[in-house]
Amino acid sequence: MANRKDDDRNRENDGKMTLEEAGRKGGEATAKNHDREFYEEIGRKGGEATAENHGPEFYEEIGRKGGEATAETHGKEFYEEIGQKGGEARVEQSRNSSGNDDKMSLEEAGRKGGESRSKNSNSSDRENSNNGKMSREEAGRKGGEARARETKKDNDRK
């Protein structure tokens, strides 16, 4: 459904549709004609094409940028929450697997992850990290410790 603004633009463009309007109408028509599987398939194909055209550095870069953007907009509570959720998921995963298989402890994994992230961040990240936000190293350490406590509680119950 065209709105008044689109109608005004069309009159200004000698009755021609704007690029924005054409895209919107095409998207609406496609959505009416295709189901979820269609979009999953084109998403999968796009992901495969991207993987063929870009190496690991590409994914590292977009992951780094996403992590930095998240760190700028979220406080320590966010990292505590995702650390807790990750720990809980890992506990559940370890319950479903047999033995330790020479895996490091959960506390050690959290500590190492936090230390690694802290070492890889540049000095300006460290300078700005005390503005009410938890450092990445601290978030990893706390997540690992919380996970270890949960695992210990679960083992004590058995």
Residues of the chain with pLDDT under 50: 1, 122-129
Residue 106: which of 157, 155, 158, 71 has the closest Cα? 155
So what's the pLDDT on residue 3? 57
Helix (H) or strand (E) run with residue 127 in it = helix 123-127
So what's the pLDDT on residue 101? 57
What's the start-to-end Cα distance of the chain, in Å? Answer: 62
What does each C-alpha distance from 5 to 8, 14, 22, 119, 137 come to in angstroms? 5, 15, 14, 52, 51
- Identify whether the C-beta of residue 145 lies closer than 8 Å to the C-beta of residue 107: yes
Whole-structure pTM over 0.85, yes or no? Answer: no
Per-residue tokens: 57: 């550095």
So what's the pLDDT on residue 121? 55
Per-residue tokens: 108: 């050690």
Helix (H) or strand (E) run with residue 128 in it = none
So what's the pLDDT on residue 96? 76
| Separation CA 50–CA 66 (nearest Å) | 18
So what's the pLDDT on residue 140? 77
| Separation CA 133–CA 20 (nearest Å) | 40
So what's the pLDDT on residue 124? 46
